[in-house]
Amino acid sequence: MPKKVLIKGNEAIGEAIIRAGCRHYFGYPITPQNELTNYMSKYMPEAGGVFIQAESEIAAINMVYGAAGAGARAITSSSSPGISLKQEGISYIAGAEVPAVVVNVMRCGPGLGGIMPGQSDYFQAVKGGGHGDYRNIVLAPNNGQELYELTVKAFDLADKYRVLVMVMADGALGQMMENVEFKDKETPYKIDKPWATTGSGMKRKKNYITSVYINPDELEAVNIRLQAKYKEIEKEEVLFEETDCEGADIIICAYGLAARITRNVMKLAAEESIKVGLLRPITLWPFPKDAVGSLADKTDVIMSVELSAGQMVEDVRLAVNGKKPVHFYGRTGGNLPTQKEILNEIKRVLEKEVK
């Protein structure tokens, strides 16, 4: 039986990278994800892979672009301000349809902000971040086990669709230790990469990776292809977890650390006979809009709880589409909402909405 180990979230991501068969990591230090870069510096060379501490975040994402373009599984990791710097490269990778993985262990912003946990990069991750009509698959783990499993999955999804997949954790999930069970062996999704620039050996037509198309018709054809691919992902790859939503007095939508805090609130509320449900998106994009939309049939009030000033709540409102009131509660600056705070807000909202 695989053994359970006590490991930091950042290191669980590192172990997943190795076990997913990725041998190319390019990073640049930033708190609170440094344990991941550190882990890679030790274990990537041991696994026969490449670890490079690049001269900047921008260099690191472009190294990912290059390695992934040559058909390798490649990854970079950073935290919020560093992820902002990578956005140009992320857009290029999307445009060139190169499969790659980026980890964001979010801290709080804006600007250089602070090093404490945040979820204020939701807009950046799911609405664009870089320029152009593109989407990244965005995975939001909420414990050590998922940090591991979803990082492995990120590589598989990237290869399957030739898209960039972002793993969105936060400072608390990255820094905390938890029992994690590793599989003895991961079997990576196997796919031929005939498009990769691996050297033609003069035996085949040269491959060419680019995101530049000067001819409008050519570029529009690329965009149409991308949009078709995104539609398929929206159909096939939505992940979420629903807990106690049927007949709930109120349903909370929350992901990552906010969802974990909400689990405690559910118990606290039950002691006062308030039934709280939880809908936890695991893919932030594609957003589980059908599942969130159907919450309107299960409860009278919906609330989004985030470590932000209110970002995912916009997608919750779009999905619920006015059928039921959607409220928001969040804290910023690296402060975390306490269970009592959230419970008080639930009571306030219920008093207002339920006559």
Partner 1 sequence: MNYEIIIAGFGGQGILSAGRIISVSAILEGKNTTWFPSYGPEMRGGTANCHVIVSDGEIGSPIINNPDVLICMTKPAIDKFESYVKNTGFILADMSLVGEDKIKSSKKQIFSIDAAKKAGEMGHKAYAMLIMIGKLIKETKIFKPETVEKALYEVLKPELHRLIPDDMAALAMGMEM
Binding site for partner 1 (CB under 8 A): 4-6, 31-32, 114-116, 171-172, 175-179, 257, 260-264, 267, 334, 336, 338-340
Dihedral Cα 240, 246, 252, 257, nearest 10 deg: -50
CA 116, CA 70: separation in Å to the nearest integer?
36
Task: Please report how close the Cβ of residue 115 comes to partner 1 at its closest, in angstroms.
Answer: 6
Task: Please report how close the Cβ of residue 179 comes to partner 1 at its closest, in angstroms.
Answer: 5
CA 316, CA 337: separation in Å to the nearest integer?
20
In three-state secondary structure terms, 183 is coil
In three-state secondary structure terms, 134 is coil
Nearer to partner 1 (CB atom), residue 101 or residue 278: 278
- E strand map for the chain: 4-8, 24-27, 50-53, 74-78, 100-108, 114-117, 137-139, 164-170, 177-181, 240-243, 250-253, 276-281, 283-285, 302-306, 326-330
Nearer to partner 1 (CB atom), residue 1 or residue 212: 1
Nearer to partner 1 (CB atom), residue 115 or residue 239: 115
Which of left, alpha, beta for 289 (phi over 0: left; psi -120 to 50: alpha)? alpha
Task: Please report how close the Cβ of residue 275 comes to partner 1 at its closest, in angstroms.
Answer: 17
Nearer to partner 1 (CB atom), residue 140 or residue 320: 140
Task: Please report how close the Cβ of residue 132 comes to partner 1 at its closest, in angstroms.
Answer: 35
Cβ pair 39, 63 in contact under 8 A: no
Task: Please report how close the Cβ of residue 121 comes to partner 1 at its closest, in angstroms.
Answer: 18
Nearer to partner 1 (CB atom), residue 150 or residue 296: 150
Cα–Cα nearest to 113, from 335, 339, 355: 335
Nearer to partner 1 (CB atom), residue 233 or residue 343: 343
Task: Please report how close the Cβ of residue 350 comes to partner 1 at its closest, in angstroms.
Answer: 21
Task: Please report how close the Cβ of residue 265 comes to partner 1 at its closest, in angstroms.
Answer: 8
Nearer to partner 1 (CB atom), residue 157 or residue 172: 172
In three-state secondary structure terms, 277 is strand
Question: How many residues are given for the chain?
Answer: 355
Task: Please report how close the Cβ of residue 172 comes to partner 1 at its closest, in angstroms.
Answer: 7
CA 165, CA 71: separation in Å to the nearest integer?
16
Nearer to partner 1 (CB atom), residue 136 or residue 262: 262
Task: Please report how close the Cβ of residue 248 comes to partner 1 at its closest, in angstroms.
Answer: 17
Cα–Cα nearest to 284, from 152, 173, 167, 138: 138
Nearer to partner 1 (CB atom), residue 250 or residue 266: 266
CA 166, CA 15: separation in Å to the nearest integer?
17
Structure tokens at 314: 């916009």
Cβ pair 278, 252 in contact under 8 A: yes
